[in-house]
Amino acid sequence: MQSNGSLKDSLFSADNNDAAKKSVLERLVCTPNENGLGNPGEMKKSTERTSSNGGDISRILQQLEQLVRSDDWISKEVKDHEESPQPSESSQKRGHLVIPRLSELGRTLVTSSSLKSYINLLGTHHRQCIASWLYGSTSQALSTLFHTPNNNLHCSERDSSFSNSIKTGIGHAIRLALHNTYGSDYCSKGWRAFLEMGPPVVYISPALHIDLTSYLSTEYLIGDIVILKKSDGDLADIEGRIDHIAFEKQLDDDIAAGKKPLVVIGVVGSSILGQNDIISRLLEIRKSKAQFWLHVIGQGLAALCLKEPSEMLVHVLSQVDSFTASLALWLGIPTAPVITLHRSVNNYKPLYQEKLAVLPWWVAYHHLTASKITDTIENAYFLSKVMLQGLTAFPQIEILGVENPIEFAKRVYKGICTPPTVLIFKYRCRDLKEVKKEKIPRGNSQSSSDILTNDYVYSGDANNTYFYASSATFDNDIDKLTEYADSLNFWLSQGLISDCRQLGLQMITFGDSHLSAFRFCPLESAAPPVRRWGGVGAVCYIPSIVKETPMNEWNEKQRQQVSHLNLELVHSLRFVDTAFSSGESPAYGVSCVKFGMLSDDKDLTDLVHLVAERGKEIEQSQKYIDSLAEMIRQGIEAANKDLKRENDARLMQEGMMRQIPLMSSLVNWFSPLDKDLQSIKGRSFDLKTGQIQSTEVYYKHQFMNRIDAISQDPHHTVVKISSESTKKQNNVNSNRDAA
């Protein structure tokens, strides 16, 4: 054991190669290494060499990396032990193992697990002080973030599934409630205290979709676990809320039977419809009936982290005893644990390991800061508000759980209501709606007293959502149309979910009839960053023949050349990937290449390089050269037509007498022709612009360039003049000598 070693020395290898210089955990997550992957035999030999030679930390870490990056060795082990005659699912997907990629914060939080182990090596007093300071600082910070000051923090250890982490948080609330209700007798007598003071009863909201029965009975020996009755409503078969009248009756019966109400678990922001139990009513029941521990869970707790949360919301939720929040999921840091904030309990003090478990959140909070956490959650609520507004614009879309979506969206935008945490929507068949109007009698319309509310505090508060009116019994026609509409929703999901992956849309099945609908929950999907997504709609390949001309100066011929080449390019690229398609640039009026949605496994640079290379190939191919030759041939034919027309016009003006060889000189002497008619102008075809021009323009352009060049070089002009005069003098002298 190291006595004075640093944390860096304990995480880094002593070798000098590049692999040994990197963090052990970072290498396990990020660094690719293909040596021996998927080869169980090589891994076994490596293990034997390591055991015989010993001590090489680099080799040990390489073997561990192979175990993490490949799962082929699992099927090999199963085959060797003959545990299953059939190949495993993982062995059928060789080469497709997806390694989770972590952000900088995620890697830091993974490293913090090693840091906790290192702190355990310190002296007792030293590590106790570190744990106490981390616990107090982080508890105060997160309590302030949720606007519930003076609460204590509990972090659930990261489990194999998210629901198990939630169970651990709820289990901690149960433990606190047992200490609060049974006092010191629970610590000294255990389950015998239940016999003396009455067996505990746990009441669970029907909106909580986690099975707690086996967990609570095994961990805390609680046998009375009651799933409360749902309140009536059209969507009660999908997801219900606590029926408070039935709960009061159940409470009275249990107290009369000598049982002890222990905990009521309520939901604020359910996972499917985003519904809320009326927590204010539960608080009133607790005051009038029995003192039980009130624990809250749900997505709606995120509203406490807004910059300006509802005062009524803060007032009510600050009175609950504890709540479990999946803050890590909302912030997109899955390596952080689930948190539970609770009030202090006299007979309970957190242990050293429980205090040290808050280290990941201490790191995350100081890295993100409170303002960034708040901005992330507010962004999720903003996306929910925008989605709600967009869906209400389409009458063909049905939003479940909302009776009047347009009116509700207006109240959300005015700030009267909090945006919903979850939106469930689906396509609504027009024919089904018309059949319902014909089949449902007017007498079955819903009265105002049957409308369910969805507020955090009071049933009469403004933050309400409404449900669709209950319908009459469906007949066969309605069943067929419902099945047809559900099939359309399923077909729509095939492309919509994959094309809009960044939205985090999910296809869920609910109800006894197993209907399908889309689920949109930005709290779960908005925080993770979108990796390597290029914000480009399309690209345009510009051939070399028009590259020197600015795009805003292209004529019709040049635009045709660019469009022709880009359409050939799209046709060629579609053999590589069908996601390529043709588009049109309204600014320049040319065809272009559309990429579509860039996914994580594609790089924008590689795609642009692919388009450029394929464009060069097409530009240099024989087919393109043939099309260019065809364009030149058409230009030559057009030039010949112009020359013929100009020659015919000249003959008409000169007359027949000027065409006779002997008479032409005499006629020209009496009536000379204009200089413009005497000279026949040629034609030039510009390959870059595709235009046919008179050679006079070309010669004038060349002459002007020559004059400009001479005027810019006076020394050249003097030398040229002197050389011309010298030549003339030499010619005169030579003529004189010849004479």
Domain check: are 356 and 219 in the same one? yes
- Show Cβ contacts of residue 545 under 8 Å, excluding neighbours closer than 6 positions: 561, 628, 687, 688
Query: What is the rounded CA–CA span in Å between residue 437 and residue 472?
Result: 10
Are 472 and 439 spatial neighbours (Cβ–Cβ below 8 Å)? yes
Eight-state DSSP code of residue 286:
H
Surface-to-core class of residue 90, CB atoms within 10 Å of its CB (0-12 exposed, 13-18 middle, 19+ buried): middle
Domain check: are 402 and 501 in the same one? yes
Helix, strand, or coil (residue 577): coil
Domain check: are 254 and 365 in the same one? yes
Domain check: are 486 and 383 in the same one? yes
Query: What is the rounded CA–CA span in Å between residue 323 and residue 340?
Result: 6
Q: Where in the sequence is the domain holding 262, given as residue range(s)?
A: 121-369
Query: What is the rounded CA–CA span in Å between residue 85 and residue 89?
Result: 12
CA 406 to chain CA centroid, nearest Å: 27
Looking at this protein, which amino acid is placed at residue 694?
Answer: S
- Position 450 in a domain: yes
Domain check: are 319 and 383 in the same one? no
Structure tokens at 253: 């019966």
Residue whose structure tokens are 């290494």: 33
Domain count for the chain, please give it.
Answer: 5
Domain check: are 184 and 212 in the same one? yes
Phi-psi region of 655 (alpha: psi -120 to 50; beta: other; left: phi over 0): left
Looking at this protein, which amino acid is placed at residue 27?
Answer: R
Give the pLDDT confidence score for residue 27 in this predicted structure.
40
Domain check: are 206 and 352 in the same one? yes
- Angle at CA of residue 95, ends 603 and 40, nearest 5°: 140
**Radius of gyration for the alpha carbons in the chain, expressed in angstroms and rounded:** 41
Phi-psi region of 343 (alpha: psi -120 to 50; beta: other; left: phi over 0): beta
Give the pLDDT confidence score for residue 379 in this predicted structure.
93
Give the pLDDT confidence score for residue 45 in this predicted structure.
54
- Position 653 in a domain: no
Give the pLDDT confidence score for residue 272 in this predicted structure.
86
Domain check: are 511 and 425 in the same one? yes
The 3-class SS string of 376-413 reads HHHHHHHHHHHHHHHHHCCCCEEECCCCCHHHHHHHHH
Are 532 and 604 spatial neighbours (Cβ–Cβ below 8 Å)? yes
Helix, strand, or coil (residue 205): coil
| Residue after which a domain boundary falls, among 492, 525, 558 | 525
Query: What is the rounded CA–CA span in Å between residue 618 and residue 133?
Result: 68
Query: What is the rounded CA–CA span in Å between residue 325 and residue 252?
Result: 31
| Residue after which a domain boundary falls, among 72, 101, 130 | 101
Give the pLDDT confidence score for residue 127 in this predicted structure.
93
Looking at this protein, which amino acid is placed at residue 579?
Answer: A
Eight-state DSSP code of residue 242:
B
Are 292 and 201 spatial neighbours (Cβ–Cβ below 8 Å)? no
Q: Where are the beta strands (DSSP E) in 232-308?
A: 260-267, 293-297
Ranges of the chain with pLDDT below 50: 1-38, 40, 50-51, 82-96, 440-474, 600, 714-721, 728, 732-739
Domain check: are 593 and 718 in the same one? no
Give the pLDDT confidence score for residue 216 in this predicted structure.
92
How long is the chain?
739
Are 501 and 599 spatial neighbours (Cβ–Cβ below 8 Å)? yes
Domain check: are 417 and 465 in the same one? yes
Helix, strand, or coil (residue 555): coil
- Position 581 in a domain: yes
- Position 635 in a domain: no
Domain check: are 513 and 488 in the same one? yes
Q: 209-233: b or e for each residue (b if 16 or more CB lie within 10 Å)? A: eeebeebbeeebebebbeebbbbeb
Phi-psi region of 228 (alpha: psi -120 to 50; beta: other; left: phi over 0): beta
- Position 132 in a domain: yes
Describe the crossing of helices 104-119 and 124-145 by its angle, rounded to 10 degrees. Answer: 140
Domain check: are 73 and 145 in the same one? no
| Residue after which a domain boundary falls, among 525, 560, 590 | 525
Are 327 and 121 spatial neighbours (Cβ–Cβ below 8 Å)? no
The 3-class SS string of 219-237 reads HHCCCEEEECCECCCCCCC
- Position 684 in a domain: no
- Position 354 in a domain: yes
Surface-to-core class of residue 200, CB atoms within 10 Å of its CB (0-12 exposed, 13-18 middle, 19+ buried): buried
- Position 576 in a domain: yes
Which CATH number goes with the domain that contains 326? 3.40.640.10
